[in-house]
Structure 1
């Protein structure tokens, strides 16, 4: 029996990213009906697919697990209650299929019996009876060889597919994650505030499917909202496949400025002149931001508060943990305090943001080209991790210029991406003349890719940004495909 799959489920089964399947759909290599892919169509396009041996999916998953900077991650099955609900739903479906099969069997058996009794030409009755008997034996005595069909049933037990309207984007809810947690991990810009059931900002309407509450909520929905199917995404998980209706943040203008007090989780040297500042937001007040944006960090002091605006170097999918790559800079008083040891683990710092429009944007082309200089890698890292989570990019090209000895302070991380992800290219260069190095890298980046299928992201000192942008524009890159930020 032919069955339809969402793009997310299909990508999970054959071991490729959603971006690859979406490109094949746009190119006419895969037929899609009402947003779904037929299993037979998928097998036609991937005849050699072996679900249990596919490696690309595992590579991407491993990258996500290592890239997001979470110190503790638990891979757990859904709760026993949720598993029982999903298994019950599948048992109902199986029982219905068995009832249909028994009805077909009874019909065929009755037909054979009737043919045996009804006067008819001997050849016709015998031929019809033999055909029905042979066909019934084949149906009842054979096993399906459709491995994707079986895998789909199994995956429905351990994960649920969620489709978001009106955007049409989709993601999987795995383990004990709430719908909100799963959506953020998948790179969606869902609306939320506290993520703890208190503010009501993650309110959404369930169009179809069943949910289960997993978190107590102090926020009360009105009777009218409950009647229309509204719930809090942070407090519920999906029992089975789900369709919800909610708006997503597509641009910086969609996210309001927020203020919170965060605690210093760690201050770690990345090099002689580079420091990692790890802040942790309280559970009741997360910082909602888009990858590539920055935030203003403030330190209260008796002689006057110090503050600095730095790019956020972590992924929005881990909104409690905010990372900043801070360079030693005599002109930055707060940075000097960090390097002097005046700020310690456990201290509190004010955070205001987000700020900036250095974001991926919608309708990403197949290739994303990132050009960074020194700590310009911070916002680039955030963009890369988000793009991996959202599966928004098919091919990554990273060019990192170092103007000082510790400029490639996370070179091992970049090499790990290259080793684990087939479509990730990393090019490290060093030049104390920032403008000259930028021009050389930009020319190389343009020559090594199709400018019509690429979007360019540039981050670093002003001289680096200006030189790289100028080189790309002169080479023929469209201005609308360039995005830049100085840091």
Structure 2
């Protein structure tokens, strides 16, 4: 039987998103067995695939790196020891396959000789039958031994196994790849998988996991001391180890906001950038050993000094838990806002408390995702979209950014860049020409007209999941608009 591949590995091999394969499986265009596909079926669905054809994967990787604020775009190679171990493992498998092939050849030769022996003892009719069977076997063996062009996906899979280890997490069945020198925890977070962890620096031991199959290697020193029982049970720290071979581990994964602990972290200001005269980007950095664990879409409380506080949505992805981004709106007379725009300096300490809120991505669906951001509602939506990109599970992602005025859409190039880089991403920006925080009377009706126009252009919206963020009033109007269309509350989510 042809080799079975997980959807994540299969998607990488043919250079598409995992959601594209899920769509083909759902439509019956690609056979799957318990969530796995064969190399032969994959090649049949993508007959034109070439070894160097990884365009879509490269585009997704590029936009994810840009979206997540990575400074280095070139993927690092695994270290020499890890590469050597992976090559050695492939060599071992090749030797085993060659040994088995020789044994099968000996068995077939013996079977062929047995046929000849039986044929000599048979009558005419039975002899003809045995002769036909012998000739068939000879032809089949000859065909099997004929040199043939290798399946390009099988070749690429072997290369991938050297360059990146595939990790499966039990019992959640999440899976991801480890590229370069990343630890298991780093790679999982980058893939959007909220593994349980604490300090991420090897001090607390909360990221312990158990090896089921495969081999890990310690890449970073850690102060946490494993007990003898831990070692016997195959427990290791995900923040300090990488995968040498393909790996199956048992590890806890956050199932919701209830699994994320409340945290108090002294962060420092790394950068303040004025995006527009009315909007600033605040970049905070946490200590290396005390990072913020949160789910995409959640908010935190920021404290400047002893009394200046503000609750702000995190505008970045949980995949980078040390570099936390916020969008701060200029509000004259608001002490927190005034301080950020007029006095806050790099390296000042800002206390982070949280996270809080239940406006998070519901991951157990492959339906299209529709995000509606009113004004500053783009901050949590940006976090959700970056997380959705990490998961690569949504069939399509649509972003509608509705601003009170042109200046309210303060990062239009982000949505355009996503749309340019991803085939399944669609971006639309709209201007209401009135203050969305107060859509009373005719303004409320005008907002409904905007929503109706959106639905008329994209009637398939009712078949997806809808996420709405922004000021309370327009968010409630939009939420009720879609609920009135018959969508259930399990398909319409609001930050309000």
Shorter-chain TM-score range:
over 0.9
What is the deviation of 1:77?
Answer: 1.2
From 199, 203, 209, the counterpart of 1:198: 203
Please give the secondary structure, in 2, of the residue aligned with 1:339. helix
CA contact (8 A) 1:443 1:472 kept: no
The residue aligned with 1:480 is 490
Please give the alpha-carbon distance, in whole angstroms, between the structure 2 residues aligned to 1:179 and 1:372: 34
Please give the alpha-carbon distance, in whole angstroms, between the structure 2 residues aligned to 1:473 and 1:126: 73
Please give the secondary structure, in 2, of the residue aligned with 1:384. helix
Please give the alpha-carbon distance, in whole angstroms, between the structure 1 residues aligned to 2:119 and 2:30: 51
CA RMSD of aligned residues (A): 2.4
Structure 2 gaps of 5+ residues are: none
What is the deviation of 1:45?
Answer: 3.0
Partner deviation per Cα, 1:249-277 (whole Å, 9 max, x = no partner): 12111101101111111000100100000
Distance 1:476 1:216, change over 3 A: same
CA contact (8 A) 2:475 2:494 kept: yes
The residue aligned with 1:222 is 227
Please give the secondary structure, in 2, of the residue aligned with 1:53. coil
Please give the alpha-carbon distance, in whole angstroms, between the structure 1 residues aligned to 2:27 and 2:53: 27
CA contact (8 A) 1:365 1:455 kept: no
Mapping 1:286-305, distance limit 5 Å: 286-300=291-305, 304-305=306-307
Please give the alpha-carbon distance, in whole angstroms, between the structure 1 residues aligned to 2:160 and 2:344: 47
The residue aligned with 1:443 is 452
Distance 1:331 1:202, change over 3 A: farther
Please give the alpha-carbon distance, in whole angstroms, between the structure 1 residues aligned to 2:69 and 2:447: 29
What is the deviation of 1:237?
Answer: 1.0
Query: Which range moves more in the overlay, 55-64 or 322-331?
Result: 55-64
Partner deviation per Cα, 1:310-367 (whole Å, 9 max, x = no partner): 0000000011100001100135311111111x11111111111111111012323421
Distance 1:111 1:269, change over 3 A: same
Please give the secondary structure, in 1, of the residue aligned with 2:206. coil
Matched, 1:328 2:330: yes
The residue aligned with 2:403 is 402
Please give the alpha-carbon distance, in whole angstroms, between the structure 1 residues aligned to 2:447 and 2:78: 49
Please give the alpha-carbon distance, in whole angstroms, between the structure 2 residues aligned to 1:89 and 1:192: 30
The residue aligned with 2:188 is 183
Distance 1:285 1:449, change over 3 A: farther
From 470, 474, 477, the counterpart of 1:464: 474
Distance 1:383 1:140, change over 3 A: same
The residue aligned with 1:344 is 345
Query: Which range moves more in the overlay, 195-204 or 56-65?
Result: 56-65
Distance 1:224 1:438, change over 3 A: farther
What is the deviation of 1:307?
Answer: 1.2
Partner deviation per Cα, 1:151-189 (whole Å, 9 max, x = no partner): 111111111111111111111111111111111000011
What is the deviation of 1:55?
Answer: 2.9
What is the deviation of 1:449?
Answer: 3.7
Structure 2 length-normalised TM: 0.90
What is the deviation of 1:475?
Answer: 3.3
From 165, 168, 172, the counterpart of 2:170: 165
The residue aligned with 1:105 is 105
Please give the alpha-carbon distance, in whole angstroms, between the structure 2 residues aligned to 1:38 and 1:77: 28
CA contact (8 A) 1:287 1:320 kept: yes
CA contact (8 A) 2:119 2:131 kept: no
The residue aligned with 1:48 is 48
What is the deviation of 1:245?
Answer: 1.2
From 228, 232, 251, the counterpart of 2:237: 232
Please give the secondary structure, in 2, of the residue aligned with 1:316. coil
The residue aligned with 1:3 is 3
Please give the secondary structure, in 2, of the residue aligned with 1:298. strand
Please give the secondary structure, in 1, of the residue aligned with 2:239. helix
Please give the alpha-carbon distance, in whole angstroms, between the structure 2 residues aligned to 1:438 and 1:465: 10
Partner deviation per Cα, 1:382-430 (whole Å, 9 max, x = no partner): 0000000011312111111121342121101111111111121111111
Distance 1:72 1:53, change over 3 A: closer
Query: Which range moves more in the overlay, 238-247 or 305-314?
Result: 238-247
Q: How many positions carry a matched residue from both structures? A: 482
The residue aligned with 1:67 is 67
